[in-house]
Chain A
Amino acid sequence: MEAIIGAFGLVLDLEVMLVIAASAIYGVMVGGIPGLTATMSVALLVPLTYFMDPVPAIAAIVTTTATAIFAGDIPGALLRMPGTPASAAYVDESFALTRQGKADLALGTGLVTAAIGGMIGTIILMAVAPQLARFAIRFSSDEYFWLGCLGLTCAVLISGSSVLKSFASLFIGLFIATIGIDVAVGHPRFTFGSIELLDGVSFIPAMIGMFALSEILRTVARGARVRGPEQGSVGNVFAGIGRILLRFRLNVVRSSVLGTGIGSLPGAGADIAAWISFTLSKRFSKKPEAFGKGAVEGIVDGGSANNAAVAGAWTPALVFGIPGDTVTAIAIGILYLKGVNPGPLVFTQSPDLVYAVFVAFLCANLVLIPVGFAAIRLSGLVLRVPQAVLMPIILVFCIVGSFAINSTVFAVWIMLVLGVVAFFMEANDIPVAPAILGIVLGTMVEDNFMVTMLKDNGNLLGFFDRPIAAALGALTMTIWVYLIFRGVRDARRAGTTG
């Protein structure tokens, strides 16, 4: 308790508050630009933090990630270009709302639930970080394999169209994920001699191509309007939020807790947390038919989960010095530099600094509301620009955003090819979301499968050897059997009713 009060004292200092405010603005700006991830925004901060005191340095990182993850919602909702991968899960819902003239509702909900999710995640972290970490650290390749499979199953569960087409989309995504050097023997697959492809298809340009470029293509193919806005404007961002929160209060709590849990697994993170929460949202919704047409409920769940996961990712980082994601990997390096050695001892050696991380999280999520509000109002201007002017500008952003992730023009190729593929997929009612998920999780599933096989000398029963793995495996299998049953039923029904 003393440490917590001490931590508040450390953070509630004029200099630290200024750093938090500046980082929030910076985070919103970077997160709002498609192609720039939360990781990149933190990596760019590194040189600055070298010359800061520990507390402001930590506060800067924490605030930047928390705000960047939210800001990814803004271009997602307005232009169907998720700013960060963590926003990709529910981009179709928020974009559908924008097209109905309810951009303010989509973004307001995203903002408030992100802040609440972030705070719930932080509170959980304050209460049980060491215990949570103890659990997370037991996950080996067996458990991650099943977790990846469970995530893949989400792809089929969330999509509205036929199971067959969802699976087809998922397999296309998984195929894309197999491109590049394989984990078991290091053999280049489907690279056709290209050095650039050795690393596989990077996710950011793939996402920009499949969501944003395909949207541009669709718009110009319809005939972009020269004059006049199409989709209204952003009005009162907070109107009706109270009612939504009240109505979906259980969703907020469920997704925040889930998000924190998934975030605390090293290597899982905000992206996967958002997908899984979104899937549960649809499965347990009283109105699943609203999904795909602008379901606020989906935004509530996905939005609170990804920000909660940002907090959760600090669990293994603080408790064991094992990074939960790339952001915390960078953060650990900075902590070392500041003389803080993450590990079980950090809670006894420098508890005030650990709690300063938590307090910084709370402040960041509070600051997020006004800063995010301003960002939403400003970005609302985008909706006033005629499509004929907007589309070419977005195209340049897509190109630069793809280029930015690795500074290679090859990424623009990836964006172009996958954009065209997605354009034809959507024209044929093949949903894009499962393919995106396949790209995200394909490598994780395959790597962990191969590693487990290598460990167990090729014995498939090894996947059920460990208790957590066995439970996850049984759960996954059950869902699969149900899905196959549903697929067969659908096919029969299509055959009889046509």
Chain B
Amino acid sequence: MTRTLLTGLLTGTAAIAAMTAPALADCHWVPERAVTYVVPWGAGGGTDANSRMMASLLEQHFGVPFNVVNRTGGNGVVGHSAIATAEPDGYTVGAATVEIAMMHWAGLTELDASNITPIALIDIVPASVTVADDSEFGSLQEVIDYARENPGELTASGTAQGGIWHLAIAGLLNEQGLDPEAIRWIPSQGAAPGMQELMAGGVDMVTVALSEAKALIESGELRGLAYMHDERMSALPDVPTTLEAIDTTWTLAAFITLSGPEGMPEEIACAYEQAVAEAVQTDAWAEFKDSRGAEVVSMPRADLTAFIEAADANLGATMEAIGLTQ
């Protein structure tokens, strides 16, 4: 089973210069009134922050208001279906996230990536394994060894049952030949409540995005044991990658896109693609990304579709293996 979602597909900062939008003639679509920007997750979260920043840059670019609307609920189903079922006239776009490639496997909805028109990659958010500072575990290897000997004793948290971070740890355990339940999943209403639970001593680890745990790691409250990515995070160079920690190729990242409804005309999608390509090169975007400890990412539209398809297949296989499919 291929466990690397990103290899060969993710283009980092360096590639940006080479990645200016295709200079096609029919990219001149411009919105004439306010655009609704649907975010399937709550205000204050990472998807919300990225989308609001992107919305304000698109607003400058197009000169019309971009109204961010948080359509939360149903583990993302509500917001994603709001994006997918809107008129593909360019006046509704949204932040489709990794869940578009997960929820149909879980049997929550029929909706999948074929129901949206991916336009641009906004963020890549790799998972981590993070423990409290006073934890007895000093490395990911120790965690895995302990879980192997005492299955079901350790607990992890960070998102809802069957959410992306649940997949991160269950998939890792499965890949290491353990029962995916060897570390029990404790659902939480998101990363922040999960980390609160960790600091209060309620769970043994969280597997939230390393960028989400960054502040508490820097302040010494938490310790990052592993980063589920190919390279270390430049903002937290002391946290080893999974490859370095336990010699596995297992990586897992959530992603945030800008997407439109299914069947969005090429002219509109291409205009948005160009606008985003310009926006991600601004200083404002770079500063914003830097403040969150994230890298500026981008990806040509054609590659993005393939990227989501690959993610879909890999996540489906993982969910199948750990018994989260229906």
Contacts and interface: CB of A to CB of B under 8 A. Distances in A.
A223 interface: no
Interface string B150-169: 00000100001110000000
A180 B202 contact: no
B199 A183 contact: no
A137 B108 CA distance: 34
B76 to A, nearest CB: 10
A138 B200 contact: yes
A180 B74 contact: yes
A332 B44 CA distance: 8
Contacts of A40: 43
A341 B218 contact: yes
Contact of B43 (A43, A47, A342): A43
A186 B185 CA distance: 13
B189 interface: yes
A244 to B, nearest CB: 36
Contacts of A341: 215, 218-219
Given A46-B52, A344-B219, A330 B195 contact: no
Interface stretch (B22-30, B271-279, B285-293): B285-293
Given A322-B195, A337-B291, A447-B189, A50 B202 contact: no
Interface in B178-228: 184, 186-189, 192-193, 195-197, 199-203, 215-216, 218-221
Nearest to B201: A140
Nearest to B70: A406
Given A137-B200, A329-B45, A451-B186, A320 B216 contact: yes
Given A326-B44, A451-B188, A47 B160 contact: no
Interface string A328-361: 1110110011110111110000000000000000
A185 to B, nearest CB: 6
B321 interface: no
B284 A50 contact: yes
Contacts of B221: 320, 343-344
Contacts of B59: 47
B141 interface: no
Contacts of B243: none
B160 A198 contact: no
A407 B42 contact: no
A316 B74 CA distance: 28
Contact of B56 (A50, A329, A338, A451): A50
A195 interface: yes
B196 to A, nearest CB: 5
Interface string A213-232: 00000000000000000000
A297 interface: no
A328 to B, nearest CB: 8
A183 B53 contact: no
Contacts of B75: 181, 186, 198
B78 interface: yes
Interface in B222-277: none
Contact of A329 (B43, B81, B288): B43
B43 A455 contact: no
A43 B161 contact: no
A50 B50 CA distance: 12
Nearest to B199: A137
Given A47-B52, A47-B55, A344-B219, A39 B43 contact: yes
Given A184-B161, A343-B221, A336 B291 contact: yes
B73 interface: yes
A336 B106 CA distance: 35
B71 A407 contact: yes
B315 interface: no
Give the interface centre of A143, A184, A195, A196 by most chain B CB atoms within 10 Å: A195
A31 interface: no
Contacts of B21: none
Contacts, number: 155
Interface in A160-209: 180-181, 183-186, 188, 195-196, 198-200
Contacts of B71: 406-408
A330 B192 CA distance: 12
A139 B74 contact: no
B216 A321 contact: yes
Contact of A337 (B45, B77, B108, B287): B287
Nearest to A344: B219
A357 B259 CA distance: 37
Contacts of B292: 333, 336
B68 interface: yes
A402 interface: no
A321 B55 contact: no
Contacts of B42: 326
A329 B44 contact: yes
Contacts of B284: 50
A142 interface: yes
Interface in A389-424: 406-408
Interface string B280-300: 000010011001100000000
B187 A183 contact: yes
Given A186-B75, A326-B42, A407-B71, A454 B218 contact: no
A400 to B, nearest CB: 14
A134 to B, nearest CB: 10
A198 B192 contact: no
Contacts of A181: 73-75
Interface string A48-73: 00100000000000000000000000
A267 interface: yes
A141 interface: yes
A407 to B, nearest CB: 4
B161 A186 contact: yes
Contact of B197 (A141, A320, A330, A343): A141
Nearest to B80: A195
A269 interface: no
Given A47-B56, A454-B184, A455-B186, A139 B196 contact: yes
A143 B197 CA distance: 11
A302 interface: no
B1 to A, nearest CB: 24
Nearest to A37: B43
Which 9 A-B pairs have CB atoms at the shortest separation, nearest pair first?
Answer: A199-B73, A329-B44, A198-B74, A343-B219, A140-B202, A140-B200, A47-B56, A321-B215, A336-B291
11 contacts: A39-B43, A50-B284, A137-B196, A137-B200, A184-B161, A188-B74, A266-B193, A323-B44, A332-B44, A333-B49, A407-B71
Given A50-B284, A138-B201, A345-B218, 4 more contacts: A43-B48, A139-B196, A321-B219, A329-B43
